[in-house]
Amino acid sequence: MKTSLRPDEIKKTVLRLLGEIAPEADLAVVKPDISFRDQLDIDSLDFLNFVVALHKQFQIDVPESDYPELITMDGCVRYLQRKLAQ
Amino acid sequence: MVEFLMPTLGSDMTEGTLVQWKKNVGDRVAKGEIIAEVDTEKAAIEIESFHTGFIERLITRPGEKVPVGTVMAIIREEGKPLEQVKVEVKAETKPLVEPPPSIAKTTVPSPATGPGRLRISPAARQLAAELGIDPSTLKGTGPDGSIVRDDVLRAARVGGIPFTGPFPLRGDDKGEGQVSADRQTRIRQTIATAMARSKREIPHYYLSTVIDMGRAMTWLKGENLKRPVADRLLYGVLLIKAVALPLRQVPELNGLWKGNAAIQSHDIHVGVAISLRQGGLVAPAIHHTDKQSLDELMKRFQDIVKRARAGTLRSTEFSDPTITVTSLGEQGVETVFGVIYPPQVALVGFGKVVERPWVVEGQVVSRPLVTASLSADHRVTDGHRGGLFLAAVDRLLQEPEKL
């Protein structure tokens, strides 16, 4: 099913999902081009949980080989826009 | 009828505040089920029941602060009529019956007590198990020097109990009355006490080895390719299992140092170091680590990390680790020189996986490598045994399908 979401909608959703996974992290200061790991102390388990959450939210399959595309906010927006348009 | 007591969860804990009861009068409670949440000045901890039965009476009120060993509730044991109460009370002063099988591993008498049986009343033995006290470290004041209930309570109050691990930081501190803030400072103090004791008392030796992770990474990649996202495995879970299994061959590394002797644990409960985003760390046990499949371990690991960060770990998860694994690879560190958590006798560390030149069958090739290190208590093991252990970890990681 083709859907399209505006970048700001994707950002908002990504922030919400990150907030659910890492409630202790300060999401107000997330920079778009720096990895979540470096900014929010997100570890591999948090990241896996994030991918699971994206899968549930957007009904998309994210193979492990795509993980590097999802490590920043900019990357997430690009990846999700592309995936959702497929 | 048995008493549910305020347990001790650390060497310096003398009292605790009941946050809330998880059961009401009349409710059935199973052994191992959470019965109460207690605040220990350092953290809120879920306390498990050591008995199966029905809640007869709740004595302590939420918000009330009581000393360690205080009777907080009465549980009517399942299948036991009321008449047995008197029998049990009698047994305390005159042990006529065989002591019950040990509930926690800490009740195993240490070799330091000599070949004879430890003289301890069944009630005292049970209380010691509930409070996490090693009875072999106690001096008995009962008939013929046997250990009675009062001896256990006294030991609990003076705080002569070995430290059992750092405490969790409650992620969501709602400031419920006595459950005060400023846990960060206190968790730091707890770690300080444990680590200072470790460096003061434990003669560490350190070994390390570089392990080729090529096969393990390829296997994991193939495995995860077949799996839906929610069922994928993390690399760290392979490491935990690869540490747990060889402990069967080198059991000296799996246990505790208590009193003046090493106590090997029959069960393998690997403590997993989890860093908390607010600072500090905890290392709760994944029980029976060696017996879990990788899938089960993954689920348990996910669950324990989530609860560690939410501050809802259970008392036995703090008291039961028999060895600890720490992985600092995600922070970019290549080698860990770990400090053992007393009273454990070993800690295994993993650094990050790095691509480096490596010789395979006479050819220099690029391989993903990880440095595994062992910090061990030289009172208990020597480098030779430690080396055998690390070699066994390496071998297992070359055959990941066997994990």
How is A45-83 classified by DSSP, letter by letter? HHHHHHHHHHHHHH-----GGGGGGGSSHHHHHHHHHHH
What count of Cα atoms within 13 Å lies in the side-chain half-sphere of residue B26? 0
Which amino acid, B310? A
**Is the bond preceding residue B343 a cis peptide, omega within 30 degrees?**
yes
Task: Check CB contact of B50 with chain A, cutoff 8 Å.
Answer: no
Q: B235 to chain A: which residues are within 8 Å by CB?
A: 44
Same domain, B269 and B382: yes
The identity of residue B203, as a single letter, is P
Number of domains observed in the structure of chain A: 1
Q: Which spans in B136-234 are helix H?
A: 149-158, 183-201, 214-226
3-state DSSP assignment of residue B321: coil
Within an 8 Å CB–CB cutoff, is residue A41 touching chain B? yes
Using CA coordinates, name the residue in chain B closest to A41: B277
What's the confidence (pLDDT) of residue B42? 62
**pLDDT at residue B158 in the model:** 47
Residue A85: pLDDT above 50? Answer: yes
Beta-carbon separation of B225 and A64 below 8 A: yes
The answer to whether the CB atoms of B225 and A37 lie below 8 A apart is no
Confidence of residue B371 (pLDDT cuts 50, 70, 90): very high
Looking at B118, B147, B182, the residue that finishes a domain is B182
CATH code (residue A58): 1.10.1200.10
Task: Please indicate, yes or no, whether residues B360 and B231 belong to a single structural domain of this protein.
Answer: yes
Of B113-117, B156-160, B389-393, the range with the highest mean pLDDT is B389-393
The boundaries of the domain holding residue A25 are 7-85
pLDDT at B255 over 80: yes
**pLDDT more than 90, % of chain B:** 47
Q: Does the model's ipTM exceed the 0.90 cut?
A: no
| Locus of tokens 């390719």 | B225
pLDDT-based confidence at residue B10 (cuts at 50, 70, 90): low
Average pLDDT for A44-51: 93
What is the band of B108 on the pLDDT scale with cuts at 50, 70, 90?
Answer: very low
Question: Cβ of B305 under 8 Å from any chain A Cβ?
Answer: yes
Query: Does one domain contain both B262 and B170?
Result: no
Place of tokens 């013929």: B144
Residue B229 CA to residue A64 CA, distance in Å, equals: 8
Of the residues B88, B106, B124, the one at which a domain ends: B106
Q: Are B357 and B366 within 8 A, CB to CB?
A: yes
| Cβ within 8 Å, pair B230-A55 | yes
| Alpha carbon of B284: minimum distance to chain A alpha carbons (Å) | 16
Closest Cβ opposite residue B224 in set A25, A44, A64: A64
| Mean pLDDT for all residues in chain B | 81
pLDDT 10s digits, B144-187? 788 887 777 766 654 433 333 334 333 333 333 333 346 677 77
A61 at interface of B, judged by CB pairs closer than 8 A: yes
| B219 and B322 inside one domain | yes
More confident call, B360 vs B85: B360
B297-350 confidence digits (pLDDT tens): 999 999 999 998 888 888 889 889 999 999 988 878 999 999 999 999 999 999
Chain-chain contact of B330 with A61 (C-beta, under 8 angstroms): no
Which contiguous run of DSSP H or E holds residue A85? helix A73-85
B322 and B348 share a domain?
Answer: yes
How far out from the chain centre does Cα B199 lie?
Answer: 20
Cβ-Cβ contacts under 8 Å for B229 (sequence gap 6 or more): A48, A51, A52, A55, A61, A62
- The predicted pLDDT at position B66 comes to 87
Residue B25 vs residue B375, higher pLDDT: B375
Is B330 in Cβ contact with A64 (below 8 Å)? no
My answer on whether B389 and B250 are in the same domain is: yes
Judge: A44–B330 Cβ closer than 8 Å, yes or no: yes
Whether residue B250 contacts residue B262, with contact meaning beta carbons closer than 8 Å, is answered with no
If asked whether residues B296 and B390 sit together in one domain, one would say yes
Look up the CATH number of the domain holding residue B70.
2.40.50.100
Same domain, yes or no, for B197 and B307?
yes
User: What is the nearest CA distance from A72 to chain B, expressed in angstroms?
Assistant: 16
Torsion A59-A60-A64-A70 (CA) sign: negative
Amino acid B182: pLDDT: 64
CA nearest to B230 within chain A: A52
The sign of the CA dihedral B8, B319, B73, B120 is negative
Do the Cβ atoms of B371 and B208 come closer than 8 Å?
yes
Q: Is there a contact between A45 and B309 if contact means CB atoms under 8 Å apart? A: no
* Confidence band for B269, pLDDT divided at 50, 70 and 90: very high
Disruptive mutation site among A38, A48, A65 for chain B (greatest number of B CBs within 10 Å): A48
Instruction: Please list every residue in chain B whose beta carbon sits closer than 8 Å to the beta carbon of residue A37.
Output: 330
Portion 210-229 of B in contact with A at CB < 8 A: 221, 224-225, 228-229
Domain span at B166: 132-182
Eight-state DSSP code of residue B365: E
Residues with Cβ < 8 Å from B154, sequence gap 6 or more? none
Over residues A49-59, the mean pLDDT reads: 94
Q: What is the mean pLDDT of residues B70-87?
A: 67
| Closest to B377 measured CA to CA, from B219, B255, B227 | B255
pLDDT band at A78 (very low <50, low <70, confident <90, very high): very high
Name, in order, each residue with C-beta under 8 angstroms of B269's C-beta and a sequence gap of 6 or more.
B285, B286, B287, B288, B289, B320, B321, B322
Of B171, B275, B330, the CB nearest to A23: B171
For the cut 70, the answer to whether the pLDDT of residue B80 exceeds it is no
pLDDT of residue B126: 75
CA distance B305 to chain A (A): 9
Residues B197 and B146 in one domain: no
- Of the three residues B106, B121, B150, the one that is the final residue of a domain is B106
